[in-house]
Each structure stands twice: as structure tokens, then as C-alpha cells.
A and B are shown apart, each in its own frame.
Chain A
């Protein structure tokens, strides 16, 4: 792939140092991305199994059913324990091993140093360490399926006391500690890189929106993850040393008393968990927003509307996200008076989110819109993420949340945010930056098939969840038909499942396109999209050390269609 440039600078030449134990941010970025894609696919497949059980409860799983051990799937029929394992692992894998490493570890690593004109990350060896910690954590997490007692089965939220008494949780907690450590190292690295390593002339207000989004996400990771790490250590103590941080006295499980000293509080875990997990949502969402902003500016051929508004909104979201966590806990049994406070902060945080979306739409005005494949993803992001945002409103409002909490409405809401929002943007980013990564373009026709198939199927999977939630169908039910009030809306579960299988099929062209184009795709030059930001000013793929000589930045990131110029783009590093 990069043989032409491999000898450039003083990069390592042995295969192992160059592609496996590399300290080059670009190799680490691709390692992160490909690993995260594999984890996303695994997490998705777990969900496909669950969707079978949800659509046709009690029916044996075709083809694969017999492959599972008899205690997990007797006669090919999924058991309740197995269903709960799949559910907990689906959530954990998608969030902690899929989207965050994809968006932050992958795109952040590859694109951020290039966009600010740095030769590498600030701490290349630390960067390698965080990738390998992430991989080890992820593999340990997956291996928990093979351990006695199986994988964690208390939901990705791991509420005690269930998580303390259920089998499988210890491995989950241990691998979470490893993954969190990896994220912390990564976050420190991004912050130092963005603070110190910018090319001359690259002031903060000349940084592309994507860099800002990674910066805010890194601050969130840095400050929100340690509380979960502490909480996980305490839950580990409860499980391994039988302490009572989260365990009240006098519990009986299936008629048997649990002998612990008591004095702990289950709600303490919920507070600590959501103190992380709400900022985490913005870690999932902000970098994709940044990607969408890049693609939109490039394909409308004009500057973003309200660049500073977008950046300030992202910062505001980052700050506010630390004081909204308990809107996940309106009916958890915490003081109802507290709910009013979190209701108000939740409504406040919606304001900057609306501002970002509005700016992105207004950016289309006056443009000359090219409907390239990445642009299709960016455009689809806008209305679909909008649905995700709007449906958050009845959930963030205390009164309506009483009814909608923990129903399929919640599932629909956050999947619209995270799947048709984040994942769509991440896929769009792949089509956008692929020429930079490999010096070749992805196939356009296959990209469009992938796009339309994915978008239609995603809507088909998640839209039926809103009427289901309104009818009162709860989430995390192994057998939805066991409850009478779910029976009427059960056909919607079948619809969801059919579209989920369709979504799987439409990923196949993408996988083929990705690997085929890597070697056989149409050759791309340095700047195939006629873009302005710095990553397009170095060769594709960039050599070790990135820039042949340190770029000097002379203007803002989105100088498209500047009056009085021959071309409609004016790269940041071009001499005046």
C-alpha cells in the first residue's frame, strides 16, 4: 500500500515494527478503526441472535442454535441467562469497544495530528500502549463468554445487587478497568497533542471543528471515566472480597439469606455509573458531529455557518454534561426533589445541541452541494439524529418519563442517536478519509448501495420501537409475549428483526468495498475532494512524520469559494 512512501523519513522498516507494534499515529489509528469495526460487527451479531428470540420467542435459532452449549441454548432455544448475557455484552461492546475506540481512538488518532499539522501524537509510545490495553481489555471482555458462569448478564449498566450476585460480572469489571485505563491514556495524549503540537499559525480558532470535538470528548473521557473506574473497583471488592459498598443488609436471594455486613447503597452505583455514562453519550456523539461538519463544509463548497457557535456549543455541552446524569434516575428511588434540578439542566443542555444542528443545516444555504457518498451520510445524519434528539424530550421530562422510562421508547431514542447518528457519521467519515488512508478511493456505486440499504434498514429497525414503547413494552424482556400488554405490538418486534437481518446483509458490500479498495481501488491523489484542511496537504497515504516540511497555517479551516480566486478552495497552508 504505502511502499512508495515507506522509505520516506526514518520510519521503521520491519513488518512487525511498522504494522503491528507501531508508534506511528496513523498505523495506530487504523488499528483502532479496524479493531473497532470488528467489535461493532460482533456486537451487532449478538443483537441479531437476541432479535430472533424477541421476534419469535421460544423458537429454536436456525442454523446456529445447535452450536451453542446446551445450558445456554437447550435444543437451540435461547435461555433467559443467555439472552441477558447477549444483552449486557451487546451494550458494552457497542459503546466501550465499538463506537468510542472508532470515533476517538481511530479518527482522533489518524486525523487530529494531521489536521493540526503535527508530525505525530505527543506521546507515541503511550499511544501504542493505549491501543494494546484496549485490545487486551476487549479480548478479555469477549472471552468471558467462555468462562464458567458465562459473560456478564446484568445489563451494560450493571446495577447492584444483581451485578454482585449474578455470575460473570467479575471478568466484565476487570476488563472495564483495563479499557478505562486505555481511554485515560488516550485522552491525555489527545489533549497534550492538541495543546502543544499545533503547527505554526494553527491558532485554536483555526482548528477544524473535528479537532474541537475530539478535544471536548477527550476532556470528558479524562474527567468522567475515573469515577467509573472507582465504582468498578468498589463493585469488584463487593464481588471478590464480599464487602458491602452497594449491598444493604438482610437480602434473600431465592429464599437464601446473603451473608454480608450490609450498610451499602445500590443507588450509589447508579449515581457513579451515570456520572460517567452521560458524558460518555457525548463522547459518542461529538466526534461524529465533527466529522459531519467536515464533510458538509467540503461538499457545500462554502464555509460552515457559525463555526464559533458550533465550537462554543460543543464546549457548553461538555461542561453541562457533568450535571445532567441523574435524568437517567428520575424513577430510581432517589429524592424526587432532586429530579427537578436535573430536569432543568437536561433542558438546558438541549439548547447547544439544537444550535449545532441548526448551524449544520444553515451551512447548506448558498452552497453548491455535491452529493458524494460521504455527503449522503452527513446529510442523512441531520434528520435522523434530529429524530433521536427530539425523542429525548419526553424522556428528559420528569412526568412523561414516569411512563416511558425503561420502555422500548428509550431504546428507539438512543439507537437513533447512536446508530443513525454516530455510526452513520463514522461510516461517512470512512468514505471521506479513505483516500487519505490508503491512497485509493472506495467504489462509489457500492458505497451508495451500502448507504441506502443501511439507512432504510436502520429506520426499519428502530422506528417500530417508538409505538412499542408508547404501548408500554419494557426493554430487556427475554420473552416479551409473557406480558399481556405486549401482545398487541408483538408484530412490530418481527418488523424490527427482519430489518435487522437486512441491515446485516447491507454491510457486506461495505466490507468487500473496504478491503478490495484498499488494494485495488481507483488511485487517489493528495487532495481528491479539493478540501482545505491540513490533512489534505500531505501525500496519500502520509509518510512517517506526515509533512515533508512543517506547514505554516495562514487562514481558517473552511476557506471555500473565496471571492477573487480561481479555484473554489483555499487550503489552510497555502502561501498568500
Chain B
């Protein structure tokens, strides 16, 4: 993972990463320009109008009110441009639209202190039913093995496998407190609120091994709450899913305690 992270933004590995990066760099360019121009003006004022003997302050040397509002007008126009042409459309695309479920990889991610439980529907494409009463350490999401759809489901901890180039529709839920699903390389961040089911989507564009981290304080082990994201070719991904579905014990022991 060493060539992925560095000073500056990490590698952009999803379809909308470059859109977010564009905004970040644009704003920073504007910010630095404003700040430098402004600092030059500031330094000029400090030197020119320093106290010198025999030179009194001249109160008539005011620029008009309008001149002092110029920076405001420039900033406002820049902000209006950002909102209308950038923020609202891109936000709508990332957060307010979802890819159709039948063309996407479906994944449920359930966060708990301090782990990620990743639930795939398996080859049949249907999630098995889950029940609160079945939640155990060995069955952290409470998967009901009596449900036929659950037979080929795959549940893994702290590992998210995704095929490259295909949208993934991820439903986020939490078992205990507020967590946050953050994959820096995908530029995706979303709080996971208990009692809510929040969908997000990602289309990975680059095969590789990335990091998934919790970004919302969730308790004493918050910094340890991480996982690995593997973006694979479709063939590798299918092979992985098949091997996991096969490796799974057919019936989960129902009476296991803590």
C-alpha cells in the first residue's frame, strides 16, 4: 500500500475521486492566491503607514465603502460559481443518486465496536434473513441459517472485496454506536448511524489493496477499527466469492453461547 499514500491526496481509485480532488485543488489554488495577494497588500500597508515622526494619520485617506467591498464581491462570485456549477451537481451525483441494484455488486456492511462485518449475498444474489436474537460472536450479524437464501451468503470480518469497474451498492448499518465508513482512496466517507440503513455507492477504477477506516469516534478502540479493501478483476473477485461460499460451514451452530 506504500505507493498509494503520501503527502497530498492519496491515489484516486474511484469514479468520483477525481471530481472531489478537482474541488479540493481548485479551492486551494484560489485560497492561496487570495492569501498571497492579501498578504502583499497587508505588508504594504504596514510599511507605508508605520508611525514616522511628523507624519500624522490622515483620516481622509479612506477608500470608498465600495472599494472595501470588492474582496467581498469577488469571494461571493467565486462561491456562487462553486455552488451552482460544482457543489450541487456533483453532490447530487455522489450522494443523491444510486446505481440500479441489478447492475451492482450488493454488499451490506455492519459496523460494531471495533470491527466491520461484511455480508455478501453470494452467487444467488439474495441476502439471507438476519435476526437480532441470533447475534453471537460467531454470528455477528445474526444470519438466520434456516433461511434458504442464507445458504450461500458470505460473511467476512474487516475485509471488503470489490470487482473493478462495476458499481458497488453498499448498505451501511451499525450494531452499537455511530461509526464512519471511510476509504481515503475512494474519497468516500459516510457516518453509520444505529437505527438507520444508509446506502452508498462506489465504482472502483483501479485494482489494488486499500484501507478502510472508521472516522467517527466510537470508543476506546476507535483507532484499531480498520479493514482492508481489495479491488480485484471480475474473475479474481468471482473466484474469491466462490471459494468463500464453499468454505463456509453449511449450518451455523445454533446453540453456541458467548
Contacts and interface: CB of A to CB of B under 8 A. Distances in A.
Q: Interface centre among A267, A390, A402, A467, by most B CB within 10 Å?
A: A402
Interface residues of B, number: 95
B216 A406 contact: yes
Given A400-B24, A406-B180, A406-B216, A366 B39 contact: no
Contacts of B68: 305-306, 309, 355, 358-359, 362
A198 interface: no
Nearest to B90: A399
B184 A402 contact: no
Interface stretch (A26-34, A39-47, A340-348): A340-348
Given A358-B68, A406-B182, 10 more contacts: A267-B193, A305-B68, A333-B193, A333-B198, A350-B75, A358-B72, A364-B45, A397-B82, A399-B87, A482-B223
Contact of A402 (B20, B45, B69): B20
Contacts of B62: 305, 362, 365-366
B8 A471 contact: yes
A162 B79 contact: no
B51 interface: yes
A560 B223 contact: no
Given A162-B178, A364-B46, A399-B87, A488 B75 contact: no
B104 interface: no
Interface string B186-220: 01111111111010000000000001011111111
A161 B24 contact: no
Q: Interface centre among B7, B178, B187, B214, by most A CB within 10 Å?
A: B178
* A-B pairs with lowest CB-CB distance, top 9: A248-B195, A366-B61, A472-B184, A80-B220, A336-B95, A162-B177, A477-B223, A368-B57, A301-B57
B65 A306 contact: yes
Given A470-B24, A484-B1, A165 B177 contact: yes
Contacts of A159: 177-178, 216-217
Contact of B71 (A81, A305, A358, A482): A358
A485 B5 contact: yes
Interface string B81-123: 0110011101100111000000000000000110000000000
A403 B189 contact: yes
B175 interface: yes
Interface of A: 79-81, 83-84, 87, 153-155, 159, 161-162, 165-166, 248-255, 257, 262, 264-267, 300-303, 305-306, 309, 331-333, 336-337, 339-340, 343-344, 347, 350-351, 354-355, 358-359, 361-362, 364-371, 379, 382-383, 386-387, 390-391, 393-394, 397-400, 402-407, 467, 470-472, 474, 476-480, 482-485, 487-489, 560-563, 568
A264 B71 CA distance: 46
A568 B258 CA distance: 82
Interface of B: 1, 4-10, 19-20, 23-24, 27-28, 31, 34-35, 38-39, 41-42, 45-46, 49-52, 55-63, 65, 67-69, 71-72, 75-76, 79-80, 82-83, 86-88, 90-91, 94-96, 112-113, 132, 135-137, 175-178, 180, 182, 184, 187-196, 198, 211, 213-224, 226, 258
Contacts of A343: 83, 87-88, 91
A369 B45 CA distance: 9
B223 A80 contact: yes
Given A339-B91, A362-B63, A382-B42, A333 B56 contact: no
B20 A161 contact: no
B197 to A, nearest CB: 10
Nearest to A300: B57
B23 A400 contact: yes
B52 A368 contact: yes
B112 to A, nearest CB: 7
A366 B58 contact: yes
A394 B27 contact: yes
B75 A354 contact: yes
Nearest to B209: A484
A60 B75 CA distance: 48
15 contacts: A155-B217, A159-B217, A248-B194, A254-B112, A255-B136, A267-B193, A306-B68, A364-B46, A368-B57, A400-B24, A471-B7, A471-B8, A472-B182, A477-B223, A563-B59
Q: Interface centre among B49, B94, B190, by most A CB within 10 Å?
A: B49
Q: Interface centre among A309, A467, A472, by most B CB within 10 Å?
A: A472
Nearest to A262: B195
Contacts of B112: 252, 254
Contact of B195 (A249, A305, A406, A476): A249
A406 B176 contact: no
